[in-house]
A and B are shown apart, each in its own frame.
Chain A
Amino acid sequence: MNTRQTNIAVLLAIAVTVLATARAASAYDTEGCLACHQYRGLSRISDDGKEIELFYVDPNYYNTPRGPHSRLKCTDCHVRKEVEVFPHQPQTPVDCGKTCHLDGPNQVEVRFSHERVNEMLRHSVHGDDCLTQSNQLLGSPLKAGQAQCLLCHDEPLFSRGGQTWLQSEAPINRCNTCHDEQLSVDTRQFYWHVTARTRPARTNEDLVRLCAMCHSNAAVRAKFNMPDTAVSYLSSFHGKATLLGSEETANCLNCHAGLVRNVHQMAGHTDGRSPANAANLPDTCRQPACHRAAGAMISSASVHLDLSRSRSIEFFIACLFVFLIVFTFGPSLLLTALKMLEIVTGRKDPSEHEHVELAKKLLADPRTRPKLDRFNLHQRFQHWVLATCFIILVLTGFPLKFADQAWAAWLIGEFGGISWARRIHHYAGAVLIIGLFYHAVYILRTLRRQRKASGAGWLKTLFGLPMWVGPSDLKQMNAIMLYLLRLKKEHPAGGRFNAEEKFEYVGVFWGSIVLGSTGVLMWFNAWTTQHLPGRILTIAILIHTMEAFLALLHVGIVHMVSVIFSPDVFPVSRAMFDGQTPIAELAEGHTAMLDAVNGQGEAPHA
């Protein structure tokens, strides 16, 4: 017996034996192919020695049966004379356009072909030799002669795209309660076949991954002169929501194929038939499931903005914010670092010891102690409302900025998904805006009260408010920097609120106004696009995200170090709990206040 005969005999033996013994073919696998092909790892190296040939067929495909082609015989697609012999003869690649024979109800044969789809594809943007060339540029994942359908179509089971087969069986089971003898065995298959097509076969992320295979591939993009639209989409709100697991947000097909059109007829965006064509885009954005109430101008909002390559107004706004961040956060960061350096090197202000002793005495004296309270209960309450809103906004907003990170998806999941996170973000933002207005009213009331007490004019009273930033504060900031850079020997004296705190306060005001106004524009995007160009949304989201980043940097690094992590206040400054500022902080940053309280006292401490 030669090798070939032995091989044939072995395969025959294996086939017949496994057919007879193993848990193998289901009723749907009428040809018994699964008897061998159900084995995971059934594989060999191709004749050219380069590729692995897998002969495995997922048995779920037939056993459940859940595959879209599970009612077909293997030989409907594969050439019978090639597979009925062992070892199988070299395979002719499957032609998806060939006519196959379905066994319909009551064993009525139905002829079916995908040729119509092929025809659609030929007239689409993916027609001609687009797919052939793309396959070559991708390194030929499809072998010669394999159907190009495979470039996009894998083998989706009906469990894909968020569909669960046990849940989707429920209606059939309800029917079976009464009609189990009347329902054809095909009913389940037909039911799944139809319901599977009423929902996406893939998750949003899988779909974008599929499109990105070509649309983010450098060789394919160069060949067809395309920008990296997958990356720009993933930088947009829709893309970030996709990365965070949203199935409701718009994916590539929603805009480029449209909700009611066939994906195989997809046209390029310059083609008048395309939903992404400029003429059709307003209606595409306003599809019933999307921005139904938006104005037509919504179409000018950008979904594929490539900030780094565009020289648009968005790019210059981004540049402005980079400048703003570097020149506001930069000095604050430098100041914080220099303060830490001062502690590391052990340098102290010559009068610090004297002020520490004075602070101790004033705090020990029941007459002067209340005068060192820098924040009253009302102010502390406002601070904590602001802090709570800020934390919630950061937790629900920043996962969008870092949507590609695993922690972002986890965090959004903890909030119950992107829809809930957005909702919480909106409400927290609303509270922040209300808080801002409340604080403005509080300032006006304080202004009125102080004006009455002093009898001075409005402006003079306003300039006299303790948080008002004046030229003297700029001088003080300059003096602090010079002191920390060792160009000045003494730390400048700070009052109840020193210059750093005043600038931080102004930052909160500025940030709340910018974030609040841009947030409102995005929240009520339907109203916005009815009255303003949709591009405003692109700009709003850009400003919102940049300003939020600046706020997070300031609060997360500068503010947190000064109120929690600095050795002067560690483990936490009590100023916002009971109004009392730590002695070290009083002696360093509020010496003018100490001196003032000491001077006012009935028995001043030496």
Chain B
Amino acid sequence: MRKRFHLRWLSPRALWAKVTGRAFRAAIKTILVRGYALVILGLVLAAGYFAVHYLFRTVFFAPTLPPQMLDWAGRLDVAALRSDQAEGVERPAPRAPISHYHSVDQWFQPDAGNGCTLSGCHQPLPHDRRAKVPAFANFHTTFLTCQMCHAPPGQRPAGTRWVNTDTDRPQSSPAILELLKYLELDADAIESQPASVDARIKDLLEQSIRTIGQDAVLDELLAEIQSSEPGSPVWKRAVSELTGELPLHSRGEYRAKLAWTAVADSRAVQFQTMTEQARQYLAAAPGSTERRDLQTAIHGSLAGAPTPCISCHDDEPGMLDFHAAGYSPKRSAFLSHLEIAKLMQQIRQGQHFYIPNVLEGGQ
């Protein structure tokens, strides 16, 4: 009779039994059991401690206001924007502070990746406080890195990338821009084949809402789109409302800033380096050579004067390729030849202009 060939000895269990002795296995088991018991002992003692601690705290000590009830921010001061962990502004986009009546739910977050302002050298809002004109330049700081105007690249148009303001890492075009572009480019498909665009619209809208934070109007529109049949009157109306609503969020709610490609990838490292240099600068004696050298090193890549507005908004070719940055064709065309930039250039050249009745309905 032919003997059957067994492969039983090849099983991991049999192999383990062959390799190890009984005493060894018993020792391993003992170690595992005792180690496990030690972990349970630790957990039991910790749980007991925390339970009794909680009990005493609730009975014998005055309770305090829960943290979520504390973020009624009092005022928006400059110092708050100098710290990336300012009290009351840790949460993204909480409500507007008292005294800012019209800024509904508008808060102003510290720019965690901006060493120029966090270092204390420059103001959190970098453009001059002496007149109100810089306010217009300052709104660009919500979606442009400093280098975009102050360290122009050599070639035109230069490549740009979006940098996430939370992580300081490059990211793709913000979802709000993507959605705006999608709604513009696929307008025909939205009209004729709504079912084919429905999923993409919902996906981009969800991403946009996540980026912006809570927004009652967008939340409602998403709910409408999600709960209606693509192409139905409800769906069409919601998408139409969306087309009108989104541009209101496209000015500084990206949670990302545009940076030149050359610096986008190294922004986090650059921030660390500049932070260290800024620390050394502030520690050095005023007027010392060391201080001057550090100042030169920190500002080495900057141009002497900021780039004129027309560099991006009128020149041909412009310094910034809006289309490549993620803007829709219409918006790109509009931003590439902005009348305001031409006027500002004229003002630079000393030309005058006249606007009567500006408050009378924009006549």
Contacts and interface: CB of A to CB of B under 8 A. Distances in A.
Interface of A: 1, 3-4, 6-7, 9-21, 23-25, 30-33, 35-47, 49-61, 63-64, 67, 75, 80, 83-84, 86-88, 94, 138-143, 146, 150-151, 154-155, 157, 159-160, 164-167, 205, 208-210, 212-213, 216, 228, 230-232, 234-235, 243, 306-309, 315, 318-319, 322, 325-326, 329-330, 333, 336-337, 340-341, 343-344, 346, 404, 549, 553, 556-557, 561, 565-567, 570
B98 A150 contact: yes
Contact of A52 (B47, B108, B241, B353): B108
A49 B44 CA distance: 55
14 contacts: A7-B131, A10-B133, A14-B136, A51-B76, A57-B102, A63-B244, A75-B359, A87-B131, A139-B74, A150-B99, A159-B216, A231-B62, A308-B61, A549-B55
A80 B359 CA distance: 10
B60 interface: yes
Contacts of A138: 74
B286 interface: no
A210 B72 contact: yes
Nearest to B352: A9
A55 B79 CA distance: 19
A7 B41 contact: no
B59 A21 contact: no
Nearest to B30: A346
B317 interface: no
A377 to B, nearest CB: 31
Nearest to A1: B350
B12 interface: no
**Residue from the set B128, B247, B340 with the largest chain A CB neighbour count within 10 Å:** B340
A157 B95 CA distance: 12
Contacts of B40: 340, 561, 565-567
A161 to B, nearest CB: 10
B103 A41 contact: no
Given A45-B129, A46-B129, A340-B38, 15 more contacts: A1-B347, A7-B132, A38-B248, A41-B251, A49-B78, A58-B104, A61-B104, A80-B359, A164-B220, A166-B241, A205-B69, A212-B72, A319-B59, A329-B48, A567-B36
A12 B108 contact: no
A480 B9 CA distance: 47
A308 B64 CA distance: 12
B182 to A, nearest CB: 18
Contacts of A60: 104, 217, 248
B106 A58 contact: yes
A17 B103 CA distance: 23
B66 A43 contact: no
A53 B78 CA distance: 10
B48 to A, nearest CB: 4
Contacts of B355: 12-13, 15-16
B59 A307 contact: yes
B142 interface: yes
Interface stretch (B119-127, B147-155, B199-207): B119-127
Contacts of B359: 31-33, 75, 80, 83-84
A254 B53 CA distance: 35
Given A12-B353, A57-B102, A61-B104, A4 B131 contact: yes
A17 B59 contact: no
B141 interface: yes
A84 B357 CA distance: 9
Nearest to A77: B101
B131 A43 contact: no
B102 to A, nearest CB: 4
A341 B41 contact: yes
B225 to A, nearest CB: 11
Nearest to B361: A30
Given A32-B362, A56-B106, A553 B51 contact: yes
Which 3 A/B pairs are nearest by Cβ-Cβ distance? A404-B66, A41-B142, A159-B216
A343 B33 contact: yes
Contacts of B125: 43-45, 52
Contact of B41 (A56, A84, A231, A344): A344
Contact of A209 (B37, B69, B128, B340): B69
A557 B48 contact: yes
A570 B124 CA distance: 59
A64 B216 CA distance: 13
Contacts, number: 309
A86 to B, nearest CB: 8
Nearest to A210: B72
B221 interface: yes
Contacts of A42: 135-136, 138-139
B282 interface: no
Identify the interface centre among B220, B253, B359: most chain A CB within 10 Å of its CB: B359
Given A39-B251, A61-B104, A52 B362 contact: no
Given A54-B108, A166-B224, A154 B98 contact: yes
Contact of A139 (B75, B217, B221, B350): B75
A8 B270 CA distance: 38
B283 interface: no
Contacts of A164: 216, 220
A87 B133 contact: yes
B72 A213 contact: yes
Interface in B129-171: 129-136, 138-143
Contacts of B138: 41-44
B139 to A, nearest CB: 4
Interface in B206-245: 216-217, 220-221, 224, 238, 241, 244
B274 interface: no
Query: Which of A146, A151, A565 has the most chain B CB atoms inside 10 A of its CB?
Result: A565
A567 to B, nearest CB: 5
A322 B59 CA distance: 8
A32 B99 CA distance: 23
B106 A404 contact: no
A142 B361 contact: no
A12 B358 contact: yes
A19 B97 CA distance: 28
B299 interface: no
B65 interface: yes
B353 A9 contact: yes
A11 B72 contact: no
A306 B63 CA distance: 8
A40 B33 contact: no
Contacts of A566: 40
A50 to B, nearest CB: 6
Contacts of B285: none
Contact of A337 (B45, B62, B65, B139): B45
Interface centre among A24, A56, A553, A570 (most CB of B within 10 A): A56
B37 A567 contact: yes
A567 B30 CA distance: 11
Residue of B52, B124, B344, B358 with highest tally of chain A CB at under 10 A: B358
Given A213-B72, A306-B62, A344 B37 contact: yes
B343 interface: yes
A47 B40 CA distance: 62
A239 to B, nearest CB: 10
A63 B44 CA distance: 59
B68 interface: yes
Given A16-B355, A325-B55, A337-B45, A51 B78 contact: yes
B252 A41 contact: yes
Interface string B336-357: 0011100110010010110100
Contacts of B76: 51-52, 54
B105 interface: yes
B65 A141 contact: no
A14 B98 contact: no
B96 interface: yes
Contact of B65 (A212, A336, A561): A212
B44 A340 contact: yes
